[in-house]
Amino acid sequence: MDYSLRYFACIPAPSVSHYNVLIRGYSMGDTAHKGLEMYRSMRRAGVFPNPISSSFAVKCCAKMGALSGGLQLHARVLVDGHQLDSLLMTTLMDLYSLPGRFDDACKVFDEILVKDTVTWNVLISCYTKNKLFQEALEVFDFMQREGSECAPDDVTCLLALQACGHLGAFDFGWQVHNYVNEKDYGDRINICNALVAMYAQCGCLEKACEVFKEISWKNVVSWTTMISGFAMNGLGRQAIDLFHEMQITGSVPDDQTFTWVLSACSHSGLVGEGIRLFEQMKTQFGVVPNIHHYGCVVDLLGRAGLLDKAYQLIMSMEVKPDSTIWRTLLAACRIHKHPELGKQALDHLTELKAEQAGDYMLLLNTYSSVGNWEKVTELRKFMKVNEIQTTPGCSTIELKGKVHQFLVDDVAHPRKDEIYEMLDEIGKQLKIAGYVAEVSSELHNVGAEESVISLSYHSEKLAMAFGVLATPPGTTIRVAKNLRTCVDCHNFAKFLSRVYNREVIIRDRLRFHHFRDGRCSCNDYW
């Protein structure tokens, strides 16, 4: 860019095209602010910008997250009369996809007179950036029905596959896969990698492996995506084997690859292998450990109950511990019932001003697991006084391409009466089979009966009941939850899988649980 700028300075009377080239160049690099400066210089020089100039300038604002500058540019676009340019308006949509401005992105979309596939793709991108994944899939569905003028292209498929992965929408993802094959996009490496990721995120490793094996020329993203799939689903040994196979083929693992293979060791309790890989990463591959790698090793040690070693590692790290590191230790303290160290971890989060409502819930769980109800009450009062509100548990399940959402004690679903009747019936059958509610999951010091009632209608139980109600016998039930599943719901799913002869797959915030014949793939190591 410096050389380009020197050459530009030699032009006696630079045109708008010359300015556009420079603004575009800055918008693609790490000095987007210079692109805005160039845009202003152009106007001061008396060169009237065209829609392309404004589009590149808006891209600079989007890259910088400079919403105020973007708003000024939008006003200038209206003054200059460029609001009919579709490319410029889609760039403005991308700017307004920033958190808190999504409604403005929709308003700009509505003002675009001629919408093409690119316009619709930007709308889907806006939805995914704001975690409105169901809405993103509805747009993809609409584009398919609308016809050739705005038919989904390869970019649309990529965005839709990402949304399917986030929702765990296996059936919809299968539809997108069929569309990919129909349009001959299946030989594109980014589409293949997205398909592997989508199937892995839906808990269907068989399909993920099938797509992965069909990739002729696997890049590092391909290998890393498949390793991450094994890691998320608790198949640590398979992840390590694939990591070694990757090296045999000549592919060089990068920092992301190591993050996932270390995560795989953590979720499977492979402490020795994880520590060796962490050392090899530095000595054999020359990859400098970053905060994510340290976080994986802290998680590895913490899950294994080696809390003192985890704490020592944190204190000796070459990088400053961030909130994720302390949160990982706090989660390990909950698993192994160590409230004192858990309180230290929360104190460090407070010092970083990074504490979240979920962190307090982890410490609450730790206190309740050891029966320290005085501390539970004290911490609850603190949360109430400081207006610390927890994120409600939310579970989703897909049926015939539509995603159904449930909250705890939910009564919003149109089939709520049938669902609750089914859940009560399931509860009776599971009790006959030996299921007993795990009241340690309850955070209140109440009687056993009240605890059981409180646990009975968690969101994932409602989703599982709907799955039993609405699908034929033998159908796999796939549930996605935004939080970590509790011990009681985990036990509930194990019994349901055996009594109803169903495979139940639950993806919580951290990993997958595959329940078959009364057992979970995690072997209760989670």
H, E, C per residue of 27-57: HHCCCHHHHHHHHHHHHHCCCCCCHHHHHHH
Asked whether 345 and 362 are in contact (CB, 8 A), the reply is no
User: In this structure, what DSSP letter does residue 148 have?
Assistant: G
β partners of residue 396: 405, 480
Residue reference for tokens 């002729």? 216
Is domain 1-114 in CATH 1.25.40.10, yes or no? yes
Of the candidates 480, 520, 475, the residue with the CA atom closest to the CA atom of residue 500: 475
Q: Return the DSSP state at 98.
A: S
3-state secondary structure of 406: strand
Q: How many CA atoms lie within 13 A of 156 on its CB side?
A: 23
pLDDT in tens, 202-218: 989 999 999 999 998 99
Give the per-residue pLDDT at 448: 43
Reported for 175-179, long-range contacts at CB under 8 A and 24+ positions apart, including other chains, are 175/401, 176/140, 179/144, 179/152
Closest CA to 477 of 507, 505, 500, 458: 505
The pLDDT assigned to 440 comes to 57
Provide the phi-psi class of 371: left if phi over 0, else alpha when psi is between -120 and 50, else beta: left
Q: CA torsion 104→106→112→117, rounded to 10°?
A: 130
- Which pLDDT does position 451 carry in this prediction? 45
> Which residues lie below 8 Å from residue 15, measured CB to CB, with a gap of 6+?
47
Q: Is 447 in contact with 490 (CB distance < 8 Å)?
A: no
In whole angstroms, what is the distance from residue 301 CA to residue 311 CA?
9
Q: Where in the chain are the domains?
A: 1-114, 394-520
Say which DSSP state 437 is in: -
Q: Which positions of the chain have pLDDT values less than 70?
A: 147-148, 439-455
Whole-number pLDDT of residue 242:
96
Is residue 300 within 8 A of residue 261, CB to CB? The reply is no
Q: What is the 3-state secondary structure (H, E, C) of 211-256?
A: HHHHCCCCCHHHHHHHHHHHHHCCCHHHHHHHHHHHHHCCCCCCHH
Composition of the chain by helix, strand, coil, percent to 5: 65, 5, 30
Exposure class string for 185-219: b at 16+ Cβ within 10 A, else e? bbeeebbbbbbbbbbbbbbbbebbbebbeebeebe
173 and 162 Cβ atoms separated by less than 8 Å: no
The letter for the amino acid at 508 is D
Longest dimension (CA), the chain: 89
Please report, for residues 162, 177, 382, 394, 403, the alpha-carbon distance to residue 172 in angstroms, rounded to integers and kept in the order given: 11, 9, 44, 20, 9
Looking at residue 454, its pLDDT comes to 53
Residue 150 and residue 127: Cα distance in Å, rounded? 18
In one-letter notation, the amino acid at residue 2 is D
Residues 173, 160: Cα–Cα separation, whole Å? 8
Output the pLDDT for position 282: 87
Radius of gyration of the chain (CA): 26
Q: Whole-prediction pTM value?
A: 0.82
**What is d(CA 56, CA 91) in angstroms, rounded to the nearest whole number?**
8
Distance of alpha carbon 325 from alpha carbon 310, whole angstroms: 10
